[in-house]
Structure 1
Amino acid sequence: MTWRALLREPLVQFLLVGLALFALHARVRPDPDRAMRVDPERVARARAGLAERLGRAPDDRELAAALRDALDDERMVREAVRLGLDRDDPIVRRRLIQKLRLAYESTADVDARDDAALLALRDAEPARYSAPARLALTQVLAARGRHPDPEAAARELVRRLEGGADPAELGDPGPHARRFGLRPAGDYAGMFGPEFAAALSDMPEGTWSIVQSQLGAHAVRVDDRAPAELLPLAAARPRLAADLAERRRAEAVQAALDDLRRSDPADLDALPADLAAALTEQGL
């Protein structure tokens, strides 16, 4: 049998793949004794850490004590793992899960300079990355506590305003201006309350209406409106970059979990068929 024919044999191929995997594992597996190795690099790190903590250069005895403590900590960790003390401990489990999740997230390809990805995210969710609709208005207040019937006083204000009176010369003083430029409705909710802001939504432009607030009754005119508009990339970039990074990290975690589920599937044999089927649909 020739070498070429031999290489086509399934058993030979299996053995070759096994040898390759064994060699790869031998190259990439962590050195179990590295944590116990005291080399110049480790000494330099310990010296720098001590100098920062002490505010001066440590002497040899102090440096040796710090290295001894670090090695003792590693010995205790190893012994605790050997004794199984890391098992069935919810705090340890939670910390391990957190560290593994962070390791998966660190593999995410996040580039805030990827304009194409940022624009794709913005255009996929325009409502999230749009400036809200805005409106400009004039309001004249009939203050509560200054009039027996603030609404009746506001109706008189409307009559005079529709007759051409100057809003600046009418009404009671209040904590807010009479005229406002284009602002989101949320700004008005913050100043006058949510009911006041809600009343503005379907108010026609250029006409006087009466709107109630915690301050009293207002004669209100909507002077201008600007619709919601998609933010340009420059304005939306910080939020887009943060959202893209969060999405990419979540995708990296999900991809890693999918790989783990395939390599370490759950044993569902003891479950009712319907529940087992539902879990199988979830990829477990």
Structure 2
Amino acid sequence: MTWRALLREPLVQFLVLGLALFALHARVRPDPDANMRVDLARVEAARQGLGARLGHAPADAELAAALREALDDERMVREAVRLGLDRDDPIVRRRLIQKLRLAYESSADLDPADDAALLAQRDAEPQRYTAPARLALTQILAARGRHAEPEAAAREFARALEAGADPAGLGDPGPHARRLGLRPVADYAGMFGPEFAAALEGMPEGTWSIVQSKIGAHAVRVDARAPAELLPLAAARARLQADLAERRRAEAVRLALEDLRRADPADLRELPPDLAAALREHGL
């Protein structure tokens, strides 16, 4: 039988294919002893790292001790894994999961997105990238502790203001300015309390009203309102880039987990068929 005829035999083809796969596996599989190998590059890296920590060039004994410690750490990790000490420790499991998740996230494409992609993301979730309505106001404080009846004092201020008095000459000192520029109502809630902010919502512009706060009573006038508006790209760019990067990382993790589920499916054979089918629909 010629060698050409021999190569046409199915058994010979199977053996050749097996040998080729074995050779390929030997080439691409990770070297299990790579972490135990001490070569010149590793010695030099250890020398530089130890020198940076010590502040001087390490002696040979110091360098040898550092290398021995690193190798002993690797030996102990291997022995711990061999003994199964990593299997029942929730802290170790959590750390392994975190490291694998970070590895999946690092595979995501995190190059800055172009303007078209950013605008598409903004327009797909306009509520997320919309600046809230804002208002500007003037407030004159009748502080608690300085007036027997702060609300009555605030009403006196309001009457004087309606008659043309200068706001700068009325009221008690407080933690905030009398004139406050355009800002969201939520900011006013943080400054004066939620009761004060709630009173602003329906207040007409240009008229004086009495509003209670955590520090007293106020004569308040809404000077201007600005409606909610979709942020322009320049104002939203940093947030859009960060959000898109986070979505890409989450997508990388999702796809990796789908691959893992296919490669290592759950064993549902002991469950009732209906329950097993329902769980499979949810990707177990």
**TM-score bracket for the superposition, by shorter chain length:** 0.7 to 0.9
Cα deviation, residue 211, structure 1: 0.7
Deviation at 1:217, TM superposition (A): 1.7
Cα deviation digits, residues 95-135 of structure 1 (max 9, x gap): 22122111111101112353333332222222222322211
Alignment of 1:151 onto 2:151: yes
Q: Could you tell me how far 1:83 is from its partner in structure 2?
A: 2.8
The TM-score with structure 1 as length reference comes to: 0.86
Cα deviation code 1:168-192 (max 9, x no counterpart) = 3333333322212212222222221
Q: Secondary structure at the match of 2:225?
A: strand
CA pair 248-21 structure 1, distance change in 2 beyond 3 A = farther
How much does 1:254 deviate?
Answer: 0.9
Q: Which has the larger displacement, 202-211 or 178-187?
A: 178-187
Deviations along 1:64-117, one digit per CA (max 9) or x if unpaired, are 232223223222322332233332222222222122111111101112353333
Distance 1:277 1:196 in 2: 55
Deviation (angstroms), 1:144: 2.5
Number of the residue aligned with 1:110: 110
Residues in 1 aligned to 2:182 and 2:16: alpha-carbon distance in whole angstroms:
73
Structure 2 counterpart SS, 1:128:
helix
Question: Is residue 245 of structure 1 aligned with residue 211 of structure 2?
Answer: no
Deviation at 1:138, TM superposition (A): 1.2
Superposition pairs of residues 1-284 of structure 1, within 5 angstroms: 22-284=22-284
Q: Quote how far apart the aligned CAs of 1:257 are.
A: 0.4
Cα deviation per residue 1:212-242 (whole Å; 9 max; x = unaligned)? Answer: 1122221111110111222233332332222
Number of residue pairs aligned between Structure 1 and Structure 2: 278
Separation in 2 of the partners of 1:124 and 1:12? 59
Between 230-239 and 186-195, report the one with greater CA deviation.
Answer: 230-239
Shift in alpha-carbon separation, 1:43–1:172, aligned structure 2, 3 A: closer
Runs of 4+ in 1 over 4 A off after TM superposition: 11-24
CA gap of 1:84–1:249, structure 2 versus 1, over 3 A, is same
Note the aligned Cα RMSD (angstroms): 2.8
Q: Distance in 2 between matches of 1:186 and 1:13?
A: 75
Tell me the CA shift for residue 13 of structure 1: 10
- Report the more deviating stretch, 99-108 or 77-86: 77-86
Deviation at residue 280 of structure 1 after TM alignment: 1.0
Per the normalisation by structure 2, the TM-score is 0.86
Q: Taking structure 1 as reference, are residues 172 and 86 closer, same or farther at Cα in structure 2, changes over 3 Å only? A: closer
Aligned equivalents of 1:15 and 1:251: distance in 2? 41
Question: Residue 88 of structure 1 aligns to a residue in which SS?
Answer: coil
In structure 2, relative to structure 1, the CA distance for the partners of 1:68 and 1:140 (3 Å cut) is: closer
Q: 202-211 or 84-93: which moved more? A: 84-93
User: What SS does the aligned partner of 2:268 have?
Assistant: coil
Change (3 A) 1:139 1:232: same
Q: Which runs of 5+ in 2 are unaligned?
A: none
